Chains A and B, each alone.
Chain A
Amino acid sequence: MNDAKSHDALNAGQTAPVVEEYEREPVPQKARLGFRSFVGMYAGEHCAGTELMIGPLFVAAGVSAFDLIVGLLIGNLLAVASWTFMTAPIATRARLTLYYQLEKICGRNLVTLYNLANGVMFCFLAGAMITVSATAAGVWFNFPMPGLSDLYPNSAGWVISIYVIGILISVIAAYGYESVSRFANIAAPWMVLVFLAFGFVALPQLGVKSIGEFWTVANQNIWKGGDPLPGQIKFTFWHVMFWSWFCNMAMHIGMSDLSVLRYAKKSWYGISSGAGMFVGHYFAWIAASLLFALQLHRDPSNTDVLPGPMAYDACGVAGLICVIIAGWTTANPTIYRAGLAFQAIMPKVSRFKVTIATGLLATTAGMFPAIAMKLLDFVALYGLVLMPMGAVIFVDFWLIDRFGLHKNYAELSGVSFNWAAGLTWFLTLAVCMGLVLYGGIQLYFVSLPGWFVAAILYVALSTVYQKPIVQKA
């Protein structure tokens, strides 16, 4: 569930290129990659520390067996379709990074603002990953850890643990980013199998003795439906479907993965995202949710969503190592990428200092369990915030010249802030948040109408904003 990790895998991967290359030019023929590179990258990328929070939070949201199994299936298929039919066709035609594509359309200053938003979101996401890792430390040092409804840190041990882990991750991100990314690539296949083992270990303890009993036990003991746990929003089929479709919205509909898929030889390689969706966002979420269901099955009063204790209980020290590595290997590139986004705003400050400062910000965010415990809401918000710019890219690439308007207006006109794109972003977010706050529509559902609002706004505002451009001979 992590964009940064994809770049990371591409950087260090055995099968993929260095993504920083060809920053301001199309990827040439010789640098293009085959289908397998993308399958490996997506499968590793979407098996992250946060999966260990998301699975349990579905159970806490009172989801039923049918709603989870079928909702995830359809939601993930829609996500794969979004990568295949929206992101990949643009990526393999333009072959530019997201940032360069955006700069051509929006101008440098608006891209800087986008970087800031992206950097802040990455910080919070990294904070949640540090939180996940710290729950493993809690098993070893036995300090009180936050509960499902806790918003603030609840013990000195928790704060110390978060800061030790956070500072360690930040320093490594600032110094040894490449070695960690190599380690992450080595860990990925092992981690996927440990996630699977979580599921296999939990099933018999939940009462599944044969395959034939699975569906009955799933409805009675695992995903029982009914009321959510206190403080959680009830999840139905539609919640699961839309959430799993949009949890990576920033990457597919938001077009972040233009930077990744520009290396694909063919547009249809977008379906390789299915490896990530069905390994990480299907089996890993289901396995992680089984761990929490098992905890509730044994003690219904224990509603704490703490991946460390749950993994240790299921698979012992190997499970605990999995939690630490899953949190660490994903927090590390996320902090690095957030640092890069911030450094673009302050180019004179060294990358080392910016990464350390970013890491400290993420660590402070991770200290507050509210982010990890409300991860379903945060991830939905993350996708929503970056989605309008994806709509701008889509409309600019495919549609805008059909209205007699210019593509890549900032590049053609020399403006550093394309107000048509900027206002599209701000107004779309205002409309979506208005729908959430005053229209009674939940956050998980506003992104779909929001995309159409952004698309229409961009065309309408460009009609007013764009001036005729005299082409130089």
Chain B
Amino acid sequence: MKPLYMLISFIALIATVGPSVLYCMGSMDLNLVKWIMLLATIVWFIVTPLWVEKEKHQE
């Protein structure tokens, strides 16, 4: 499961900053940017501890 969690975390990070880049380029509405950033934030904080903590225990 760890590679999957890591992939989801990575996608959440991209979704945190990506929409603002698209907004800067004029390709996305600001309200949508805010919603995607919030969703990405929630996903990041739920999923990342699952593999970070596991990695720490393994160490």
Contacts and interface: CB of A to CB of B under 8 A. Distances in A.
Interface of A: 14, 182, 185-187, 189-190, 193-194, 196-198, 200-201, 203-204, 208-209, 315-319, 321
Interface string B36-57: 0110110011001100110110
Contacts of A187: 45
A209 B17 contact: no
Interface in B12-59: 12-13, 16-17, 19-21, 23-24, 26, 30, 33-35, 37-38, 40-41, 44-45, 48-49, 52-53, 55-56, 59
B56 A201 contact: no
Q: How would you classify the secondary structure of chain B's contact residues: helix, strand, loop or mixed?
A: helix
A315 B37 contact: yes
A203 B25 CA distance: 10
B23 A186 contact: no
A318 B33 CA distance: 10
A318 B38 contact: yes
B45 A316 contact: no
Contacts of B19: 197
Contact of B34 (A182, A189, A315): A315
B55 A14 contact: yes
The 9 lowest CB-CB distance pairs between A and B, nearest first, are A316-B34, A197-B20, A200-B20, A318-B37, A193-B17, A200-B24, A193-B16, A318-B41, A318-B38
Contacts of B12: 190
B35 A204 contact: no
A208 B25 CA distance: 10
23 contacts: A14-B56, A190-B16, A190-B44, A190-B45, A193-B13, A193-B17, A197-B16, A197-B17, A200-B17, A200-B20, A200-B21, A200-B24, A201-B20, A201-B30, A204-B23, A204-B24, A315-B34, A316-B34, A316-B37, A317-B34, A318-B16, A318-B38, A319-B37
Contacts of A196: 17, 20
A189 B13 CA distance: 8
A326 to B, nearest CB: 13
Nearest to B44: A190
* Candidate in A182, A197, A198 with the most chain B CB atoms within 10 angstroms: A197
Given A201-B23, A204-B24, A186 B48 contact: yes
Contacts of B23: 200-201, 204
A200 B18 CA distance: 10
A21 to B, nearest CB: 16
